[in-house]
């Protein structure tokens, strides 16, 4: 029945800051961008290399999401990368604060956490297979 995750939706507090983060820092591809006057809201459709998508929304006066201590709901969003250390280094070069690399005690795969501009917990998880796409770079 379910085949894969199609998209994850994220509501941000500052549309331009979050758009820059997801497009320029993480390197996601813009599929479509719309302003919806009736909702005073932007909707930005972004794509990862495997076809999965992130929908980035802005809504006026959206309440903050409690994260720490951990709240019920989506815990974090994880991205697969070929090499966690290389991706961590790239993010740090782009000004992102990244936690120390950890090892998954069950799979022995490396992973690391960082946050988007609103503090949404994001994870890089090492694929360890040749078909995985590395963290995208942006060319201007």
Flag whether the pTM goes above 0.75. Answer: yes
Which secondary-structure segment (H or E) carries 25? none
Quick: pLDDT tens for 70-126.
777 778 999 999 999 999 999 999 999 999 999 999 899 999 999 999 999 999 999
Contacts of 116 (CB under 8 A, 6+ apart): 10, 12, 18, 21, 22, 122
Name the pLDDT band for 131 (thresholds 50, 70, 90).
Answer: very low
Q: Is the pLDDT of residue 69 over 60?
A: yes
pLDDT value at residue 65? 79
pLDDT of 73: 76
Q: Which residue has the tokens 């974090």?
A: 76
Tell me the C-alpha distance between 124 and 127, whole Å.
9
Ranking 1-10, 17-26, 32-41 by mean pLDDT, the lowest is 1-10
Cβ neighbors of 79 (< 8 A, separation 6 or more) are 26, 48, 122, 123, 124, 125, 135
3-state secondary structure of 68: coil
Split at pLDDT 50, 70, 90, the class of 21 is very high
Q: What digits encode the pLDDT tens for the residues 41-68? A: 999 999 998 889 999 999 998 888 777 7
> What's residue 136's pLDDT?
53
**Burial (0-12, 13-18, 19+ Cβ within 10 Å), 87:** buried
Domains and CATH numbers, the chain: 1-63 (3.10.180.10), 64-133 (3.10.180.10)
* Residue that is written with structure tokens 């495997």 in the block: 50
Q: Say how far apart CA 21 and CA 13 lie, in whole Å.
A: 13
């Amino acid at each position: 029945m379910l085949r894969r995750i199609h998209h994850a939706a994220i509501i941000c507090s500052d549309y331009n800051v979050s758009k820059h983060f997801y497009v320029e820092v993480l390197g996601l591809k813009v599929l479509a961008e719309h302003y919806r006057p009736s909702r005073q809201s932007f909707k930005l459709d972004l794509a990862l290399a495997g076809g999965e998508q992130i929908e980035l929304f802005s809504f006026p006066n959206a309440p903050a999401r409690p994260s720490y201590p951990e709240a019920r709901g989506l815990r974090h969003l994880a991205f697969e990368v070929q090499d966690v250390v290389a991706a961590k280094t790239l993010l740090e070069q782009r000004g992102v604060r990244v936690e120390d690399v950890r090892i998954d005690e069950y799979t022995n795969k490396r992973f690391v956490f960082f946050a988007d501009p609103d503090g949404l917990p994001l994870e890089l998880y090492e694929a360890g297979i040749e078909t995985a796409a590395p963290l995208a770079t942006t060319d201007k």
